[in-house]
Amino acid sequence: MEDTELENEAYIQNLHKGERFAKCYLAYRPNYPQEMFDQIMTYHGRSPRCGRQLAVDVCCGSGQSTVPLTGCFDQVVGVDISEDQLLLFPKDSSNLTSRLSLAEDLSSFSPGTVDLVSIGCSLHWVNVDKFHNEARRILKPGGTYAAYCYDLETLENAQADAYVKQLRNGLFKSYLTSKADIVFGRYKALNFPFLDIERYEDLQLCADLTLDEYLGYLKSFHYVNQYHNEHPNDDIVSKIRAKLVQFLQTDGQDACDIRVKVTWNLFLILGRNSY
């Protein structure tokens, strides 16, 4: 492995390490809608060689997109680079296991043994070509590939939404890596070396959160954590909270009762391994 690759791997590990970050990710990241998994399985079922023996969810984190697959496949394996995330991975399902591994090295899986390879909100973090080579290697002929991600959230309150977007374009901008541009472009800049590519961009995630739940969601992003690490005396989350209270609080309402209605646009790319 070249030095630049080692540096990139270490950088990504550093971004996503830590018990605090892992717990925040588990508690506050939104769950994917059942509609998305239905779309994946409908596509999967159209393959003349489709099977439901084994699914591998790469960059699984604490299992948000892994657990829903347990009702569709005999065995589901979540793979992640973060030990902290995997410590919080569900352990109460008989057909669900996890493995510590790079997305670019899936050598623990034999060639042509996997029915579905999925990766949620993480394709932009990995070496895409190497990961896709591994996905093609372990997928069965005609097996399904699924990559999905949600983009920046939209808050129903226009003032609050404008404020959060201003923070990302201002205070936090220098902490957003070039990876963010890949997400904002909905992965259209990436190459997908699979057959029968289908792209869906009309899916949505919706949530009605408490104010503190929304702030927890913000804290689950690396750029907020990096800002905090570099400015430990600046309690930026408390400042954001105070500003959002100004926009969202109604007369006589306790701040604890404030609700934040949030929508994310979700995009999904499906493909099929060569026969």
pLDDT in tens, 90-103: 998 999 999 999 99
3-17, 45-59, 60-74: least confidently modelled range: 3-17
Residue 224 burial (CB < 10 Å; 0-12/13-18/19+)? buried
Tokens of 16: 């996503």
Residues whose CB is less than 8 angstroms from the CB of residue 128 and which lie 6 or more positions away in sequence, other chains included: 190, 191
**Is pLDDT of 10 > 60?**
no
* Interstrand relation of 154-155 and 259-272 (parallel, antiparallel or unpaired): antiparallel
Q: What is the mean pLDDT of residues 141-150?
A: 98
For domain 3-154+178-207+263-272, the CATH class is alpha beta
CA 75 to CA 63: how far, in whole Å?
14
pLDDT at residue 57 in the model: 99
Cα–chain center distance at 227: 21
Region 180-205: mean pLDDT is 95
pLDDT of 21 higher than 90: no
> In terms of DSSP H, where are the helices of the chain?
3-15, 19-28, 34-45, 83-87, 128-138, 158-169, 179-184, 211-219, 222-230, 236-248
Per-residue confidence (pLDDT) for residue 251, from 0 to 100: 87
Q: Is the pLDDT of residue 14 over 80?
A: no
Q: Where are the beta strands (DSSP E) in 133-224?
A: 139-150, 154-155, 195-210
Rounded Cα–Cα distance for residues 17 and 81 (Å): 9
Give the residues across from 199 on adjacent strands. 269
SS3 152: coil
C-alpha dihedral, 246 to 252 to 256 to 260, nearest 10°? -50
List the domain boundaries for the chain: 3-154+178-207+263-272
SS3 189: coil
Where is pLDDT greater, at 27 or 110? Answer: 110
CA–CA separation, 55 and 126 (whole Å): 19
Q: Which of the four pLDDT bands, split at 50, 70 and 90, describes residue 16?
A: low
